[in-house]
Amino acid sequence: MLKIYEEPVIEEVYDEITTEKEVRLFIKREDKIHPYISGNKWRKLKYNLEYARQQNFSTLLTFGGAYSNHIYATAAAAKEYGFKSIGIIRGEEHLPLNPTLSFASQQGMHLHYMDRSTYRRKHDTEVIGPLTEKYGRFYLLPEGGTNLLAIKGASEIVNEEVRQFDYVCTPVGTGGTIAGIISGMNGRGRVMGFSALKGDFLKHDVQKLLQLYEKHPLTNWDIKTSYHFGGYAKVSPVLFGFIDEIYKKHQIPLDPIYTGKMMFGIYDMIRSGEFAPKTKILTIHTGGLQGVEGMRR
Ligand SMILES: *Cc1c(COP(=O)(O)O)cnc(C)c1O
C-alpha cells in the first residue's frame, strides 16, 4: 500500500463573495495525502502498483512531459514500493535537469528521452516493442496514469461526507480523476470538471472512460471548457494574481495548471450568480504543487 501521510480533510473557505452570494464553498485537501505522491496521482497509482506487484513486475514504465506531475509522482511511488522505474520523457534532454526531472532522477527513475513525433505514437506497438527489447518486462502506465485501476482509485476521493455536497468540482487533464469521482458519487449531486486543456474533446473522453468502467450510465456531470487561460500550461498575470490572493486570504496553495484554473472558474461562476443561494460546493485539491516555483516569470 502507498502510505497516507495526512488523511485529506474538508475545510470551509469563507470569503466576501460566498457571503454575498449566500453559497458555501469547501475544499478537500487531497494535496496533503503525501508529500511527493500528491493528490489525484496517489489515488490513480494505488491500485496500479498493487496490481503490478501481484503480477510480479519489478519495473514500471510511463510517459510524460518534462514538468509532468505524473512522472514526479510515479518516480516517488516506485521508490516507496521498491520498483525500478523508467520515465519516457517527451522531447530532448536539457541540462541541468529541471526540478521535476531532477527529483525523478534522484528517486531512481531512469530517464529516456523521446523525440516528439515518436512520442505522439507512444502507445503503439512499434514504439513499445523496442522499449521492451531494451528494458525487458515492465508494467506500463499510460501518460497521465489514466486506466481503469486509476479510475477505481480516484473513486475513493468520494466518501459519505463528499456525497452530501450539491456540487463536487475537480480539474480535468486526461479525465481519469473526474471519471472516478462521478463513479464514486453514484448519481448524487453534480460533478463539475474544469478542463485544463483547450477544446471540447474531454467530454467525449470522459464519456468513453465511464462507459468502460460503469455498468449504468451516469449523467450528473459536466465539463467547463472556458477556464483554460489559452491552453494547457498557459499562464497569465491575472491567474497568478488570483492564486496569490487565495493564498494570502486562505493559506491554500494552488498550482497554475490545474487547481488554480479550477478555483478561478468557480469564483467566476459564484460571482456571476450561477449557483443558487444555499448551494454547497466542494472543490477537490488534486495536488500538483511540485514545480510551481519554476512556472513564475
Ligand atoms: C494530473 C492532474 C490532474 C488531471 O487529472 P486527470 O485524471 O488526468 O484528469 C488534475 N490536477 C492535478 C493537480 C494533476 O496533477
Domain regions of the chain by residue span: 10-36+149-296, 40-145
Q: How far apart are CA 107 and CA 140, in angstroms?
A: 18
Looking at residue 296, what is its pLDDT?
A: 64
Average pLDDT over residues 13-29: 98
The closest residue, in CA terms, to atom 2 on ligand 1 is 173
Burial level of 245, CB count in 10 A (0-12/13-18/19+)?
exposed
C-alpha cell at 92: 530532448
User: For strand 280-284 and strand 84-90, is the pairing parallel, antiparallel, or unpaired?
Assistant: unpaired
Looking at residue 292, what is its pLDDT?
A: 81
How many CB atoms lie under 10 A from the CB of residue 228? Answer: 19
Looking at residue 1, what is its pLDDT?
A: 81
Looking at residue 294, what is its pLDDT?
A: 66
Q: How far apart are CA 233 and CA 256, in angstroms?
A: 7
Phi, psi of 86 (to 5 degrees): -125, 125
- pLDDT confidence tier of residue 215, bands split at 50, 70 and 90: confident
Flag whether pLDDT at 29 surpasses 80. Answer: yes
Neighbour-count burial for 72-107, b at 16+ CB within 10 Å, e otherwise: bbbbbbbbbbebbbbbbbbeeeeeebeebbebbeeb
Query: Mean pLDDT in the chain?
Result: 96
Average pLDDT over residues 282-290: 97
Q: Does domain 40-145 have CATH number 2.60.40.2130?
A: no
The closest residue, in CA terms, to atom 15 on ligand 1 is 288
- How many angstroms is it from 240 CA to the middle of ligand 1? 19
Q: How far apart are CA 155 and CA 177, in angstroms?
A: 8
Ligand 1 nearest atom to the CA of residue 177, by list position: 7
- How many angstroms is it from 185 CA to the middle of ligand 1? 18
Q: How far apart are CA 94 and CA 20, in angstroms?
A: 49
Q: How far apart are CA 110 and CA 17, in angstroms?
A: 47
Flag whether pLDDT at 140 surpasses 70. Answer: yes
Flag whether pLDDT at 196 surpasses 70. Answer: yes
> Tens of pLDDT along 228-242?
999 999 999 999 999
- Entry field: residues in the chain: 297
Looking at residue 89, what is its pLDDT?
A: 98
Top-level class of domain 10-36+149-296 = alpha beta
Average pLDDT over residues 140-150: 97
User: pTM of the prediction?
Assistant: 0.97
> Tens of pLDDT along 86-115?
999 999 999 999 999 999 999 999 999 999
Average pLDDT over residues 192-200: 97
Amino acid at 109: M
C-alpha cell at 244: 496569490
- How many angstroms is it from 73 CA to the middle of ligand 1? 11
Phi, psi of 62 (to 5 degrees): -150, 180
Out of 38, 58, 68, 272, the active site residue is 68
C-alpha cell at 14: 469563507
> Tens of pLDDT along 256-279?
999 999 999 999 999 999 999 999
C-alpha cell at 113: 528521452
- Mutating to test ligand 1, I would choose from 44, 47, 69 the residue with most ligand atoms within 8 A of its C-beta, which is 69
Domain 10-36+149-296 and domain 40-145 have a common topology = yes
CA 14 to chain centre: 25
Ligand 1 nearest atom to the CA of residue 154, by list position: 7
Flag whether pLDDT at 5 surpasses 90. Answer: yes
Residues within 6 Å of ligand 1 by CB:
39-41, 69-70, 144, 146, 171-178, 255, 258-259, 286-288
C-alpha cell at 87: 520515465
Average pLDDT over residues 17-26: 98
Q: How far apart are CA 149 and CA 152, in angstroms?
A: 5
Q: How far apart are CA 212 and CA 231, in angstroms?
A: 28
Query: Is 68 annotated as catalytic?
Result: yes
- Mutating to test ligand 1, I would choose from 30, 62, 258, 264 the residue with most ligand atoms within 8 A of its C-beta, which is 258
Burial level of 31, CB count in 10 A (0-12/13-18/19+)?
buried
Looking at residue 78, what is its pLDDT?
A: 98
